[in-house]
Structure 1
Amino acid sequence: MTENVLGGDYPFFRVIESPITAHMLRPLDPRCHTVQFGKALTESDYRRLSEWIAQYPSVTLRAYASYDGSIRDLDFLRFFPALHKFSADTLYHSLESIDGLGYLPESASMIGLGQTKKKLSLKPLGRFTSLRRLYLEGQTKDIETISELRSLRSVTLRSITLADLSILQPLRQLRALDLKLGGTRDLALLPTIGKLDYLELWMVRGLHDLSPVAQLEDLSYLFLQSLKQVTQLPDLSRLTHLETVWLETMKGLTDLSPLLTARSLRRVGVVDMAHLQPEDVGVLAGHPGLQELRAGLGSKRKNDAVRKLVPLPDGERWAKPESLSAD
């Protein structure tokens, strides 16, 4: 059961606030991935929280919101010397320094930093040479520091514009890349970055050329959403491991036939694509290996027509590969 109160038992996260109660620190639901607080805690509560969360090394500690302005820096991390996963986001008006990251162990595996009014130097990230997952939103000062984090397997850049992807080239172990918002239009270096298994491109302004994607021979999952200037998919015949393609609100696309060139394709999502007609999706009936199709063309009539043309199970949105979700 879900309780809609602070400190309630939401399935996937736990909310903490001062004064911490025994109810807040009861055992976590196995599905819980985040423990979070929205304003500064007392020192004694930080210590208590640190001792308790140490039981859950796979859980992320998240500082967020700070509507009262109480979370101005990350110095409270001195109470969490063994924490391996940490996120600070939606702190736009209050967060003024991330130097407190220096209290985390160098072996930290995941760090997330949201957008702030004051641009903060990312140099404190340089010491985390074992970092496997990094989420950045709107933080561009000293962003070249990312190049030093050679153990990264997953990078998400949101509301960040890069001239090109050269800062990611040293990341030989990179498996997942998410570009969300921002205006990074030049993807030419994609094939030279790690061995990408997962690629997500969402609302990237001005992006129109997806041809570099055709060279990602290790790719298994391609997620494209709201790229209004993309009018065609590339030939995917070199992507022999590609199993899943999710297309959402891709209003410039009318021809889905390039998907037929992906020989290993098993799952396709075509969602919020009301501009398409059933026969536009019907071409996928010609793919011999397709097993699931999620179609959303804006009306029950059109969706039913697709099911008749391509009689496959109606898949849900498929999660990022498990190997990239775990540290």
Structure 2
Amino acid sequence: MLSIQPQIRITDPQRIDRNAILRDIDAGIQVIVQFSGQTYTRRLLEELNELCSELDDNFTLRFYTLGRTTYDGRILRFVPNVKSLQIDSQYESTHGDSFTELTELKKLNVVISDLAQKEILQSENLRRLEYLGIGSVKTKALNLEYLRDYNDLTSLMINGQIKNIEAVGSLPKLKELHLHSLPKIPLHFINELKGLRKLSILLGGRENILEIEENEIEDLSIDWVRGFNNLDNISNFRNLKSLNIENLIKLKSLHFDEALPRLDYLRILNCKTFESLTGVQNLPILDELRIVETALDFDQFMTQPLPESLNELAFYAKSEREIKEIGRKLETLGYSIENRV
């Protein structure tokens, strides 16, 4: 399983502990200082701006609103040196597009529910981004064509935006792609992303991803995708290290018909009609396998040969009694088991 960078969140601080932040950043921790509504002072923002000028994009500022609170984008004029910025406004905003004036930005994650500018991605400062997350915004016609000029972008998250989505295929440095709440549209553009290493598909609806050809993706996650029922092209993901399948109520089976020599983590969670997992012996370095809340029969599954590399095997049945019985069987077979999903 791929590692995740540790984070520390500092919420609504009344003062800034500069030394503590520097220590955490030096330790490789992402530090996020966040404000819920107008809980900041100008002086506090100016102090944070000084830190922004010294630190890299592992130091993040986040502004979010709760309830029917208005987000005022003019606060960004006090942090012109911010390199990593998150905005989460679920109600309404004023000057919501002020982030287009920040010239030092490297990472931007924006959720502004009433943002309606369809051409906002043409902003010159955004073309130098390395990470861009586009969450829920008012317009569903945000023009993605401008992404063709985002030559430094390595990670992209799109939520429901599909206008000119094929432009994503022209991003030369893209390594991570997160597609959220997309309708059933072709994903052929993914085949153009030769450097892509992580693909996440969340929500939305589609039956499969069969249009994705042989690739170098290492981490694949498919979760809550309505109608998804077919992963027969799994062999095209020959470089896969981690596979996570969750909440796919139409997916009934998965067969590894060819070797995936690098896959060491596999999780299948809450796929209620999933009843067949075969070819596991074709995963020669599989270390951890977790099967949770499926229709898979444990005894039948265990009749197939499993890779010698398998160390941790978790199999969660419907009842507590079955879970305990399966746990005893697995311990007898020498597998490590843990009470975590």
Map of 1:189-268 to 2, 5 A cutoff?
189-192=211-214, 194-268=215-289
- Structure 2 counterpart of 1:61, one-letter code: L
Residue identity opposite 1:51 in structure 2: E
Q: State the partner residue of 2:159.
A: 137
CA change 1:75–1:42 in 2 (3 A) is farther
TM-score scaled by length of structure 2: 0.76
The amino acid of 2:316's aligned partner reads G
SS in 2 for 1:145: helix
Letter in 1 for 2:131: M
Question: Is the partner of 1:191 in helix, strand or coil?
Answer: coil
Alpha-carbon deviation of 1:33?
Answer: 4.8
Give the corresponding residue for 2:321.
Answer: 301
Q: Secondary structure at the match of 1:211?
A: coil
**Hey, what does 1:64 align to over in structure 2?**
88
Counterpart code for 2:207: R
Tell me whether 118-127 or 221-230 shows the greater mean CA deviation: 118-127
CA contact (8 A) 1:277 1:302 kept: no
8 Å contact kept, 2:256–2:278? no
Residues of 1 paired with 2:229 and 2:317: CA distance? 22
Structure 1 residue 125, shift from structure 2 partner:
3.1
Contact 1:267 1:290 in 2 (8 A): yes
Indicate conservation of the 8 Å contact 2:30/2:58, yes or no: no
After TM superposition, give the deviation of residue 279 of structure 1 in Å: 2.2
2:193 alignment partner, one of 171, 178, 181: 171
Alignment of 1:271 onto 2:318: no
Q: Distance in 2 between matches of 1:109 and 1:223?
A: 25
Q: What TM-score do the two structures reach when normalised by structure 1?
A: 0.79
Identity %: 21
The alignment covers a number of residue pairs equal to 300
Which is richer in strand? 2
AA partner of residue 145 (structure 2): K
Corresponding residue for 2:203?
181
User: Structure 1 pair 201/148, CA: closer, same or farther in 2 (3 Å)?
Assistant: same
Pick from 287, 297, 303 the counterpart of residue 307 of structure 2: 287
1:73 maps to what in 2?
96
Aligned in 2, Cα 1:158/1:235: closer, same or farther, shift over 3 Å? same
Aligned with 1:104: secondary structure?
A: helix
Q: Equivalents in 2 of 1:43, 1:100: separation in Å?
A: 29
Q: Could you tell me which runs of 5 or more consecutive residues in structure 1 were left unpaired when the two chains were aligned.
A: 1-9, 319-327
User: Taking structure 1 as reference, are residues 249 and 213 closer, same or farther at Cα in structure 2, changes over 3 Å only?
Assistant: same
Asked whether the 8 Å contact 2:222–2:244 carries over to 1, the reply is yes
CA distance, structure 2, for counterparts of residue 293 and residue 178 of structure 1:
24
Cα RMSD (Å): 3.1
Mapped partners of 1:74, 1:103: distance in 2: 13
